Structure 1
Amino acid sequence: MNEARLEDSSSFDEQHIVVQKNISYFDLKWRAVKDPAKQNTWNWIAFFFSPFWLAYRKMYKPFFVLALIELLYAVPFYLVDLPAWLDGPFYLIIAIVVGLNGNRWYYKHTLNILKQSKSLSDSHQASYLQTKGGTHIGILVGLNVLVIALFFLLDMGLSYLPSETNIKDVVRLSVDAETLEIFTDDPKWSYVKKDGRSYIVEFTGYDYSEKEDVRIVFNVYLDKYIYEWKEIYINGKKLNKKDAEDYELWIEDNSY
């Protein structure tokens, strides 16, 4: 057994002072491997509640690294069309990484706190370990609210970039768009061009109930994040003003 391992073993019981809550769980997990600083054991809570668990255990560095990765992951969705199903594999990988490494990270985290406490006087060590160790619901809530706020600011900033994806999203994320997609087969949204202050976005699909090809042209105002119906074509024929208004009202009525 090397010197570092001897040091870890001698301080193992001291780590209980840092863990404070659920000591028996970590004691069992860390003793299940030869070197808990290098070998992983599985943590289901860390798997299912990764950011909450990290914040709850005051593991700030991995928490903010995870938050940064998630923020960076979100950026491309504002620039190009990416399938929503990518979220599943991405967050599953995140959960697996934290679930697999969490106990080892926490072991090293507690060792670091103990090491830092050694530089303090005896009178200050107890309060330092009490403050830096254990768990904290307030920190859990506060840090995750902070990350949610950062995601909100990211969304507010990037959603107004004049990318084709953002322009299409103004209309295709609306309740009208949801109804159109429900009532049609093979729905598609296409960016057409910029037209003065607005952008032209086109919807196409096949109305399976009426057996009609549907094409709808929208004006999108990205700076105000609003859209308006411009033209409606059924089987290639443009509807007159009254019929177009009736069709729009029918979609709107079925959207609520």
Structure 2
Amino acid sequence: MENNTSNERESQEYKSTEDNSQLTNENINEEINNDTEFCTQCGTLNKKGGNFCIKCGSIMKSKSTSNNYVKETNNGYNKQTYDNYDKKEVESFVFKNTEYYMPKFEQMKSTGQQISWNWISFLIPSYWALYRKMYLVGLILLGINIILPVGPIITLSLNIVISVGFGMYGNSLYLTYIQRKLDTFKYLDKNMKDIAISKNGGVNLILPVAIASIGFIVIILGLLAIGMFAAFVYGY
């Protein structure tokens, strides 16, 4: 009799413990789902809303952040980038001809539109990009002109497409470039940031002039070589 009573008591205690454990697990799962998130790098549980993991320091990318990013994207460009940019830093980065670029950037910021005509980027897109220190873009454009010519009509058509594209989207491309550069400086102190902006911003006149001069010399030498060859062959 006593053994039966003891067994029943142990069974009830075990059931109560199991129910409490299940309730605790449900509460933990609810807390994890609603108030926390796991770091994608180290797997540590973090409170939602934090920018960095409490253990490894990696940037936290929550689902809500991703949704906000998608909602704030307009025509393929992140409007939040416009809203958060520091006008003084952008102006310092541009350095030359700010009276032209800053109103253009402000207009893009207020409307969210990328199209803003630039005559210089339309007429000489590769040299404009080099002048504005967008070296990779400028060198790619020069490489296209050097490597890809397959015929006068196709080459002319390709150059027209590139020129029109850069005329329409050159300012937007330049602002995107500035923003990405400034994002890499955001953790620097003020003095180091000013130095970085001064070094990476502004313009580079020497490089495009040097490349244009070399191209001009190569063309002249090529014409002279053709003339001398023709004179040798035809006895002029």
Tell me which interval the TM-score lies in, with the shorter structure as reference length.
0.5 to 0.7
Asked if 1:68 is matched to 2:143, the reply is: yes
Asked if 1:109 is matched to 2:177, the reply is: yes
After superposition, residues 1-256 of structure 1 pair within 5 angstroms as 2=72, 5-13=79-87, 14-33=89-108, 34-35=111-112, 39-74=114-149, 76=150, 82=151, 84-144=152-212, 148=215, 174=227, 228=233, 252=236
Shift of 1:58: 0.6
Please list the CA deviations of residues 196-254 of structure 1 after superposition, one character each: whole Å capped at 9, or x if unmatched. xxxxxxxxxxxxxxxxxxxxxxxxxxxxxx9646xxxxxxxxxxxxxxxxxx7xxx4xx
Using the size of structure 2 for normalisation, the TM-score is 0.54
Identity %: 21
The range that moved more, 4-13 or 20-29, is: 4-13
Shift of 1:175: 8.2
Shift of 1:10: 2.8
Which secondary structure does the structure 2 equivalent of 1:32 belong to? Answer: helix
Alignment check: 8 A CA contact 2:91 2:98 kept: yes
Question: By percentage of residues, which structure has more helix?
Answer: 2
Instruction: Write the letter of the residue equivalent to 1:35.
Output: G
Counterparts of 2:93 and 2:132, CA distance in 1: 10
**Gaps spanning 5+ residues in structure 2: where?**
1-70
What is the count of residue pairs matched by the alignment?
Answer: 156
Shift of 1:16: 1.1
Alignment check: 8 A CA contact 1:47 1:95 kept: yes
Instruction: Write the letter of the residue equivalent to 2:198.
Output: Q
Instruction: Write the letter of the residue equivalent to 2:72.
Output: N
Instruction: Write the letter of the residue equivalent to 1:102.
Output: G
Instruction: Write the letter of the residue equivalent to 1:67.
Output: L
Alignment check: 8 A CA contact 1:55 1:143 kept: no
Change (3 A) 1:128 1:20: same
**Displaced runs of 4 or more, over 6 A:** none
Using the size of structure 1 for normalisation, the TM-score is 0.51
Counterparts of 2:84 and 2:211, CA distance in 1: 33
Counterparts of 1:59 and 1:49, CA distance in 2: 14
Shift of 1:6: 3.7
**Gaps spanning 5+ residues in structure 1: where?**
77-81, 157-169, 178-225, 230-247
Change (3 A) 1:228 1:113: same
Change (3 A) 1:127 1:144: farther
Shift of 1:131: 1.2
Counterparts of 2:233 and 2:93, CA distance in 1: 59
Counterparts of 2:139 and 2:187, CA distance in 1: 26
Shift of 1:92: 2.1
Counterparts of 1:127 and 1:73, CA distance in 2: 39
Shift of 1:127: 1.0
Q: Superposition RMSD on alpha carbons, in Å?
A: 3.4
Alignment check: 8 A CA contact 1:29 1:103 kept: yes
Instruction: Write the letter of the residue equivalent to 1:47.
Output: F
Question: Based on CA coordinates, which of the two structures has the bigger radius of gyration?
Answer: 2
Which secondary structure does the structure 1 equivalent of 2:83 belong to? Answer: helix
Alignment check: 8 A CA contact 2:81 2:179 kept: no
Shift of 1:99: 1.1
